[in-house]
Structure 1
Amino acid sequence: MKKILLFALLCCFSIVAFAQDYQFKTTVDLEATPVISQGRTGTCWSFSASSFLESEIIRLTGKQIDISEMYNVRNTYPKKAWNYVMRQGKAQFSEGALAHDVMNAVKSHGLVTSEAYSGLKALETNHNHAEMEAVLKAMLDVYIKNPGKKLSTNWKPAVESVLDVYLGESPKWFNFEGRRYTPKSFQEMTKINPDDYVTITSFTHQPYYEQFILNIPDNFSNGSFYNVTLDELVAVTRNALNTGYTVELDCDVSETTFSAKYAVASIPEEAVKDKKEFTAEIRKEKTITAEFRQEEFENFTTTDDHLMHITGMATDQNGNEYFRAKNSWGSNSERVPNDGHVHMSEAFFKLKTISVMVHKDALPKALRVKLGL
């Protein structure tokens, strides 16, 4: 009987010893602005890329500036509308876009502060674009049906008017730190040059070290991606962080094993039923190959559904390394009872990353040569 009890105690001890809650220690922590919420919108692309630019502004000028996410959204919608109309409705029109669309907006329209352009009406405190997107799409669908039998260009000012009603008119100038700026002169002050940033991905259906247009629904603007090996995609991200550059991330967070609540994302070797189960202990993860990554992309298990901003790295108590991603779902709430960051394992990153965007100087030198940058 004593032997049985002793055996049972040893088993219990082993289970307790193995079932470890994640305990993270930050190893790289680059400067970034506070976590904020994108509200009830599909504009993670602007919130994450704007956060990325805010870190770049800190790196380039030493200034911490809260730039307007909604100014970038406001200046991207007319381009989405153009694509939708010119393709006669045979394209996606939604709240989604990608990080390079923010760069395109900055290149065309400059930058402004959130104080100068909040995208909120009086008494509003949270963003909600459901009605605006529905109104825009319904209006564009009418124009596409062409009831007048000759499509006019009236849809262009009509789109601008709807955006002005819901988000506000774009400022022609504004004040910052006692000086008056236009959006373009403010961009110049921040030293942000959109041409300095590149988007990197890794897929086997295209040649490595060349650019190609990635066919995903949110790439309405036909942005080009540099294709590298999977190990190089990880190396790019790690090199950037270790040399003082943050990273913009497009990835899939639809997996059960992504948990904003528990601030961890991994790919356990064995299937789990729910988020609480997989976060209860550190589990052995799958080995992610380029072939498996490609298969999951082509069968739609991996899609581009969320963008975040990687600002650092961390390790768990077993020494496993993670990328620390700043999310845009707020912090210290019932949904996200933490500081609003997620620790992403290398396996999760390898399998679920669609692309990263970095300053070209953040690329390893040997890879820059391969890409001709």
Structure 2
Amino acid sequence: MKNFLLTLLAVGALCSAVAQTTPEETQPEGYRFTDTKVLRMTPVKDQHRSGTCWCFSTLSFLEGEILRAGGAPVHLSEMWIVRHTFMEKAEKYVRMHGELNFAEGGAAHDVTESIKKYGIVPFEVYPGLNYGTDRPDFHELTAVFKAYLDTIISVGDRSGKPLSTAWRRGFSALLDAYFGEMPETFTYEGKEYTPASYAASLPIDMEDYIDLTSFTHHPFYTQFILEVPDNWMWGTVYNLPLDEMMAVIDHALAENHPIAWGTDVSEKGFSRSLALGIVPEADLDSMSGTEAERWGKLTEREKEAALYTFDKPGKERVITQEMRQTAFDNYETTDDHGMVIVGTAHDQAGNAYYKVLNSWDVRPPYAGYYYFSRPFVAYKTTDIMVNKKALPKEIAKKLGLK
């Protein structure tokens, strides 16, 4: 009997411990998303240890456009673009005596302009991994490239003599060593192509793609060179009011067009592990007097910690044109990362989100996809690339586009 009672006490204690540690009401609610529209896209890619999100995202965007146009799924070669871009960037870097951002970053228009000039090839034809790894790893090659160019510039500046006719060949040889020699012709799915003829065979036209943004330091409905370090090409963007930029995103998705998205993921409201981006704000209106008083006594650090718990959906900031501009002017919004907006969703509280395709491999919790709130996209978009045919007619007219 004594043993039986001891057993009952032990079971009771265990149940009590479980009840105390795992009651449903004490568990973080978290974020639960319901997709409302998701475009058909090619598989998630992995840029790995390379700062080439601009290329991975834009090619994934173009692959989505190919699918929309009725083309077959294809994986276009990222390193074909990167290799050509490094050569063009080197030319300008030397011409500017090193006063240019020579790095791995870039912009969406780097991809479309490169395809116009040099064509494109499938990944299988040009993987561009000629340095012993099966995924991109730029820890060595970028340092080597820049050191070579800096030497050319330094010698030229010191000597005052013309640069040799060999430096371009030497740099091209370095590119070939790391990325591999570029084919002039290739056979793909039983047909022979050149890079130009393969690009021409795709059911999309690079002339259809334009860049848009929304800032007040340039007039709306004009084009300007976006002043960010990775815009080494000095490419131009069309400038729209914030509400119209957001309208372009919504209209493009409604017409089944993806959007190449330049943004900033250095924000406290972005969580890599949760694959989530938000712009939270304290909901003082819903607080009781005691809660509001307690909130007012918190330090800024304590308030920030409370806002960024990511425990459940809450109130988010209302984004204005002025907020966007201030964040950009103060370096709070930078050209940090490129992804692809491919759909819409809402959380369990009914808040609106965009579903986004990333290039950080297939990883949990959403198999390489991410969710960004509408305020996050409104606040932290540096630029977008869209098919100009996806613009609302009234906005296209304001921009002088047909």
Could you say whether these structures have the same fold, taking a TM-score greater than 0.5 normalized by the shorter chain as the test? yes
Kindly state the Cα deviation for residue 150 of structure 1 after the two structures are TM-superposed: 2.3
- Out of 154, 178, 191, the residue aligned to residue 179 of structure 1 is 191
Letter in 1 for 2:316: E
- Out of 231, 242, 245, the residue aligned to residue 243 of structure 2 is 231
Alignment check: 8 A CA contact 1:61 1:190 kept:
no
Letter in 2 for 1:92: N
Q: Distance in 2 between matches of 1:260 and 1:182?
A: 40
Give RMSD over aligned pairs. 1.9
Alignment check: 8 A CA contact 1:329 1:340 kept:
yes
Alignment check: 8 A CA contact 2:130 2:177 kept:
no
Letter in 2 for 1:286: R
Alignment check: 8 A CA contact 1:60 1:190 kept:
no
Alignment check: 8 A CA contact 1:260 1:340 kept:
no
Structure 1 residue runs without a partner (length 5+): 1-12
Q: Distance in 2 between matches of 1:156 and 1:136?
A: 12
Instruction: Spell out, residue by residue over 1:105-154, the C-alpha distance to the aligned partner (whole angstroms, 9 max, x if none).
Output: 10001110000000113752121112111111111111111155322242
**Does residue 326 of structure 2 align to residue 295 of structure 1?**
yes
**Does residue 106 of structure 2 align to residue 75 of structure 1?**
no
**Does residue 344 of structure 2 align to residue 313 of structure 1?**
yes
Note the 1:142-181 alignment, pairs <5 A.
142-145=151-154, 146=156, 148=159, 149-181=161-193
Q: Distance in 2 between matches of 1:303 and 1:132?
A: 25
1:325 paired residue number: 356
Instruction: Spell out, residue by residue over 1:10-68, the C-alpha distance to the aligned partner (whole angstroms, 9 max, x if none).
Output: xxx99769x63111111111111111210100000000001011111111233100111
Q: Distance in 2 between matches of 1:320 and 1:77?
A: 42
* Secondary structure, counterpart of 2:281 in structure 1: coil
- Out of 263, 268, 273, the residue aligned to residue 305 of structure 2 is 273
* Secondary structure, counterpart of 2:121 in structure 1: coil
* Secondary structure, counterpart of 2:305 in structure 1: coil
1:141 paired residue number: 150
Alignment check: 8 A CA contact 1:173 1:182 kept:
yes
Letter in 1 for 2:305: K
- Out of 342, 357, 371, the residue aligned to residue 343 of structure 1 is 371
- Out of 119, 126, 130, the residue aligned to residue 117 of structure 1 is 126
1:8 paired residue number: none
Q: Distance in 2 between matches of 1:259 and 1:251?
A: 14
Q: Distance in 2 between matches of 1:153 and 1:94?
A: 24
1:105 paired residue number: 114
Letter in 2 for 1:273: A
Q: Distance in 1 between matches of 2:144 and 2:334?
A: 26
1:360 paired residue number: 388
Q: Distance in 1 between matches of 2:238 and 2:216?
A: 12
- Out of 44, 65, 78, the residue aligned to residue 35 of structure 1 is 44
Q: Distance in 1 between matches of 2:131 and 2:144?
A: 21
Identity of aligned residues (%): 43
- Out of 201, 210, 222, the residue aligned to residue 222 of structure 2 is 210
With normalisation by structure 1, the TM-score equals 0.92
Alignment check: 8 A CA contact 1:261 1:338 kept:
no
> Higher Cα Rg: structure 1 or 2?
2
Bigger mean CA offset, 90-99 vs 258-267: 258-267
* Secondary structure, counterpart of 1:356 in structure 2: strand
Letter in 2 for 1:127: P
Provide the aligned length of Structure 1 versus Structure 2. 356
Instruction: Spell out, residue by residue over 1:318-352, the C-alpha distance to the aligned partner (whole angstroms, 9 max, x if none).
Output: 111111111111123xxx54311111111111111
